[in-house]
Structure 1
Amino acid sequence: MADLPKYRGVRPHGNRIQINYSVGGEHTFETIDLRPNKTNLDAARKIRQQRIDDAKQGTVAPDSKSFAELAQLYLESLDVALSTAMSYHGILEKYWMPSLARRDIAEIRYSDLLALVNKIDWPSGKTRKNALIPLRGVFELAVADNLRPDNPAVRFKQVKHQKPEIDPFTADEWLAIYEKLADPWKPYFTLLWETGMRHPAEPMALTWDDFKGDRLRVNKAIVRRRLKEVKNYRAREVLLTGAAQSVLRNHPGRFTGGPTFPNTKGRHQLDGDQPNKAWREALKASGVRPRRAYNLRHSWASRALTAGLKPAFVAQQLGHSLKMTLEVYGKYITSDEDKSQIALLEAAVKNEKLARDLPREV
C-alpha cells in the first residue's frame, strides 16, 4: 500500500476505494467497488471529479448565482430595442442555457465555454459572432456583481465572416414578377420597387397620414408584431417617383384612413406572411430565380446609384448612413468621370510613347 499514489479525496478502504468531496457545504462519502491498485485509484480520482462536476450542475453556493439567474438579470437590465432583447433571449435559450443554466456562474471556466463553442454546429460565422454578445454580457454582469473576478467570454476571438453579395432584381425580372402578382398586392410591391423601403416592416406600418403627395414619412415599423420606431431611429421622408405617387393616389383605400396596407379587419398587418405568400406565388409563376422580396430594396439602391444619383441622397432615401451605403452598394456607384479615368491613363501612355520617339538634341 505504501507505493500507491495519493490523491485528494481518494483512499483505499479495505478491498475497495472510498472517495469524498464537498459541494455547496454538503459533504459526501462514496465507496467504489474497485480494488485499490494504482490503475483503479487513478480511475477513482476521475470518478470523484465527475461526481463534483455533476453536483455543481445542480448546486450553487449561497454567495453565488447560477448562470440562468444572471442571464435573467442581464436581460432585464438591457436598454435596447424590444427586438434586440428578444433576439438575445432566443440566443441564450438556444445556445447557452442547455449546458450552463444550472452551473454556478463563479465556477464556469474559459475551457468549459471553449468546449461548448467548439461543439456547437454554427450555421455561420455571423451567428457565432452574434451569439457571443449576450454571453459576454452575462459574465460582465457577474464581474460587476463581484461574483467572479474575470469575464471568460471576452477571450473568444471574433471570426470574420464575409457578407453575402446583394442580389438585386433586374427591370425585366421585376416586370415578369409584377405581371404574375395578385392584383391586391401590386401596389404594395410596386411601392417597394419604387422606394427601396424595408420589407415588410416599413410599408406595413404606413398610414395614409404619412402620404404627403410627393413624399412619404417613414418613422415607424412593425417588428415582431409590434409597432415601434423605425430601425436605428432614423425617421426620414422618402421622395416618391411619379410611378410611386400614382400607385398611392389611385389606391382604393386612400380615403379610408388608417393603415395604407391593412389586414382584412382594417388594422395594421403584424407580420409579412400574406405579402410573402403572394410574392412566392408570383415568383413561381413568373419563372424568375427565387429571391426575397426584401431584395427589392437592393434593386432600388443599385438602380439609383447606377443612374448616377448622389450616394448621400440614396443613403437618406434608404435610411442608411453614408458609410453603410458605400459599403453595401459601392460597386454600383458610376459616373462619366469614372469612365474618363481610363481615357486619361491611355493618353498618358500615348504621350510617353511619343516622347520616346522624338529625336534627341545633339
Structure 2
Amino acid sequence: MGRKPMDHPDGVETRGNSVRVRFTWNGQRRSEPTPYQPTPKGLAAAGGLRARVKELIRLGAMTDDLYAELFPNSSYNLDRKTPTFGEFAQVWLDSRDIVEGTRDNYKSVFNRFWMPAFTAKRIDNITSSDIRRVVSSIAWESPGVRRNAMDKLSSLMGAAVTDGYNARNPCLSMPRAKLPKRPVDPFEREEAERIIADMYQHLTGPTKIYAAYFEFAFFSGMRPGEQRALKWAELDKEKRRAHVCRGIVKGKLCERIKTKSVRDVLLNDRAMNALEVARSLAVDGAEFVFAPVDGSSEFIKSDSTTKKYFMASLTRLGIRRRRQYDCRHTYATMCLMANMKVGFIANQLGHSVQMLLSTYAKWINSTSDWAELNKL
C-alpha cells in the first residue's frame, strides 16, 4: 500500500529532498529554496517562512538585503547594499597590509570558527547574542585559542562599524579573556658565557657559525627572525650599528619586522666579535650574515636549524633547558641590571617603553631594591 502524500501548505512545493516556496515580489514570480526537509515539520516551517515573506512584501518592508538573508542560496541577482559576513570578511582581509603568515592565520581562524555560523548572514544583523551562542557551542582547545579567535572577530566587526554598516561592535559587550602571561626566563650572565664558550670549544669548521650566532643573540637582543634575516650590507662596522628592517616568517623573508618600524641596533664588543667570526667563515659573495652550513639556503629558515646545537650545549653543561628566544630576554635583563636607561634598552629591542616595563618589571625593580631598602 503506497504512502499517503503529505499535505503541502499553499505556495510550498517539494523537489526531491528540498522544499521551495513560491510568491510574487516586484511583479516577478519567485521560487526559492529553503533549508527545510520534506517532512511534515519541514513543510510547516516552510509555510511559516512564506507567510512571513508575504507579510513583509505587503507592508513594503522587504529589501534586497533582507531577501538575501532569508534566502542566502537565491539564484536571483540582488542589488544589496549591506554585505554578508563572508563577503565583508574577504574584502577586509584582502585590504589589510599584513604579512602572509598573519593573513594565513586570520583565514584559518575565520574559516574554522566564524564562517560556518555567519557566512551568509548580513554583517549588520550579527548580534552579541549570536556570537555568544557560537562561542558556547565550540569546544575550545584552550583559553588562548578562544581569545585569539575573539580578538580577530572583534577587529573585523570594528571595521564594519568604521565603514558604516554596523552601529556598534557586538564583540565589545563580551569581556576579553585574561590569560596568564608566559614568564620571562632569561639565562644568568654566567650561564650565557658558559654556553658561548662551550660552543666555540665544541663546534669546529663551518659549524662554528652557530657559536657566533648565539654569541650575537646573547649580546645584540635581536629577535631570532630578525637576526637570521640580517645581511652584511646592513652592518656599519665603523659606527658599530646593525640596521634591522626585515625578518623571517615561516621560512620566508619578510621585508618588514614585527613592530613595522625599522631600527638601528648599537653593537657592543661581544656582538662585534661574533660578526668577526661570522665574516671569517663566510663564503665569497655571501649576502646573509648567518648562513646554514649545509648550503640548503642563503639564510637560516627555521630556528630548528640552530636548536640542536643550542640544546646540545645546555645538555653538556647541565644548564636547565630554555628557549632560544630567551637569549633575547637575557640581553634585556643584562642591560637592566647594568642600570642602562629604559628608553635606550627599549629602542635596542624594538619595544615600546610600556612593553619593556611590563615584560621586565622584575628586573627593573631588582636593580634598585637594596638601594631603596638602605634608605630606611
Q: TM-score, normalised by structure 2?
A: 0.70
Q: State the 1:203 CA deviation.
A: 0.9
CA distance in 1, matches of 2:344, 2:167: 49
Match of 1:333 in 2: 364
What are the ranges of 5 or more consecutive residues in structure 2 without an aligned counterpart?
13-19, 23-29, 53-68
Residues 246-268 of structure 1: CA deviation (Å, up to 9, x unaligned): 22113224573411012415623
Cα 1:57–1:128, aligned 2, differ >3 Å: closer, same or farther?
A: farther
- SS of equivalent to 2:259: helix
Confirm or deny: 8 A CA contact 2:336 2:367 kept in the other structure.
no
Answer with 186-195 or 123-132: which moved more: 123-132
Q: How does 1:290-309 map to 2 (within 5 A)?
A: 290-309=321-340
Pick aligned residue for 1:168 from 154, 176, 186:
186
Pick aligned residue for 1:249 from 269, 272, 276:
276
Confirm or deny: 8 A CA contact 1:168 1:295 kept in the other structure.
yes
Q: How does 1:9-158 map to 2 (within 5 A)?
A: 26=32, 32=39, 59=73, 62=78, 63=80, 65-105=83-123, 107-140=125-158, 142=160, 151-158=169-176
Confirm or deny: 8 A CA contact 2:212 2:277 kept in the other structure.
no
Percent identity among equivalent residues? 28
Q: State the 1:146 CA deviation.
A: 6.6
Cα 1:114–1:25, aligned 2, differ >3 Å: closer, same or farther?
A: farther
CA distance in 1, matches of 2:253, 2:368: 46
Residues 87-116 of structure 1: CA deviation (Å, up to 9, x unaligned): 322321232223333445455443231121
Residues 229-275 of structure 1: CA deviation (Å, up to 9, x unaligned): 23323323322232221221132245734110124156233333312
Match of 1:193 in 2: 218
CA distance in 2, matches of 1:156, 1:328: 26
CA RMSD across the alignment: 4.0
CA distance in 1, matches of 2:242, 2:347: 13
Q: How does 1:230-245 map to 2 (within 5 A)?
A: 230-245=257-272
Please tell me whether residue 262 in structure 1 is matched to residue 280 in structure 2: no
Answer with 223-232 or 173-182: which moved more: 173-182
CA distance in 1, matches of 2:211, 2:246: 22
Cα 1:339–1:107, aligned 2, differ >3 Å: closer, same or farther?
A: closer
Match of 2:248 in 1: 222
What are the ranges of 5 or more consecutive residues in structure 1 without an aligned counterpart?
1-12, 35-40, 346-362
Which one-letter code corresponds to 1:88 in the other structure? Y
Q: How many residues align?
A: 321
CA distance in 2, matches of 1:151, 1:220: 34
Cα 1:25–1:141, aligned 2, differ >3 Å: closer, same or farther?
A: farther
CA distance in 2, matches of 1:205, 1:273: 15
CA distance in 2, matches of 1:145, 1:308: 48
- SS of equivalent to 1:314: helix
Pick aligned residue for 2:229 from 195, 205, 220:
205
CA distance in 2, matches of 1:259, 1:299: 24
Answer with 257-266 or 305-314: which moved more: 257-266
CA distance in 2, matches of 1:275, 1:101: 43
Confirm or deny: 8 A CA contact 2:232 2:287 kept in the other structure.
yes
- SS of equivalent to 2:340: coil
